Amino acid sequence: MAKYSTGSGGGSAGGSCELCGAAGDTQTAEVAGATLDLCADCAQNHGESDQGPSGSDSPDDQERKRRAAQNTAKMQDSQSVDGSHWEDGADYDADQLPYLVSDYGSRVTEARQAEGLQTGELATELDLTEDDVLAVEQGRAVQANVKGSTIAAIEKFLDIELADSR
């Protein structure tokens, strides 16, 4: 079992590596904050170096660190861009979908059919997308991110009530 150095003495000739136990010449190196006497192999593979980024890192390690630094710089650059554009001009509460009655889809379908309209015709009449009208009729208004103004236009045109007024 490896012992931990008390910090006294440096490397020694004829000592043993405190990581692998190999006998022979050792050198002092720091591993995870501990100062240890290590053989050359352990010092190269585990020792921390003050030699800077090139140090004893393998080419793969150097490339990984370079890419990590580039990614960090890109993230910092994108975060330093004025983030207020997310809020400028956007009023998320202005067109909020109201709570809808449980059978809103069938109400729309029945009222549309009573008017003799196809979904595409209703969408055209109200200047909506057919996808939004279909989402409402299929009871998927929330999942399809249908706006409150869409519900209001359908209610007004078909003279029905879709919003739950609890």
Q: Could you read off the pLDDT of 64-73 as tens digits, one per residue?
A: 888 777 777 7
Angle 146-151-153 (CA atoms, 0-180°, nearest 5)? 125
Residue 21: left if φ>0, alpha if ψ -120 to 50, beta else—which one?
left
Q: Which domains does the chain have, with CATH numbers?
A: 7-52 (no CATH), 104-158 (1.10.260)
Q: Give the per-residue pLDDT at 52.
A: 43
Angstrom CA distances, 157 to 16, 30, 126, stand at 89, 77, 8
**Whole-angstrom distance, CA of residue 16 vs CA of residue 118:** 87
Cα-Cα end-to-end distance for the chain: 72
Interatomic CA distance for residues 151 and 141, integer angstroms: 9
Q: Which residue has the tokens 């136990």?
A: 21
Model's pTM, two decimal places? Answer: 0.45
Tokens read off for 3: 């012992």
pLDDT at residue 138 greater than cutoff 80: yes
Structure tokens at 78: 């994108």
List, for residues 16-32, the tens digit of each pLDDT value: 888 788 888 888 888 77
For residue 136 the two structure tokens come to 């409402």
CA–CA distance, 141 with 95 (Å, rounded to integer):
13
